[in-house]
Chain A
Amino acid sequence: AQSVTQPDIHITVSEGASLELRCNYSYGATPYLFWYVQSPGQGLQLLLKYFSGDTLVQGIKGFEAEFKRSQSSFNLRKPSVHWSDAAEYFCAVGAGNTGFQKLVFGTGTRLLVSP
Chain B
Amino acid sequence: GAVVSQHPSWVICKSGTSVKIECRSLDFQATTMFWYRQFPKQSLMLMATSNEGSKATYEQGVEKDKFLINHASLTLSTLTVTSAHPEDSSFYICSASSDRGSPGELFFGEGSRLTVL
Q: Which residues of A contact B (CB under 8 A)?
A: 4, 9, 32, 34, 36, 38, 41-46, 49, 51, 90, 94, 99-108
Contact = CB atoms under 8 A, between A and B. Distances in A.
Given A41-B110, A43-B109, A107 B102 contact: no
A51 B104 contact: yes
A103 B106 CA distance: 10
A107 B43 contact: yes
Given A51-B103, A51-B104, A107 B49 contact: no
A107 B104 contact: no
Contacts of B97: 101
Contacts of A9: 41
Interface of B: 1, 4, 9, 32, 34, 36, 41-46, 49, 93, 95, 97, 101-111
B57 to A, nearest CB: 10
B44 A90 contact: yes
A101 B104 CA distance: 7
Most buried by A among B41, B106, B109: B106
B104 A100 contact: yes
B4 A49 contact: no
Given A9-B41, A43-B93, A102 B108 contact: no
A78 to B, nearest CB: 20
B70 to A, nearest CB: 20
Given A43-B110, A108-B43, A102 B105 contact: no
A104 B36 CA distance: 10
3 tightest A-B CB contacts, nearest first: A100-B104, A43-B108, A44-B108
22 contacts: A4-B43, A41-B110, A42-B110, A43-B107, A43-B109, A44-B106, A46-B101, A46-B105, A49-B105, A51-B103, A51-B104, A90-B44, A99-B104, A100-B103, A100-B104, A100-B106, A101-B104, A101-B106, A102-B46, A103-B46, A103-B106, A104-B43
B49 A34 contact: no
A32 B103 CA distance: 11
A94 B97 CA distance: 14
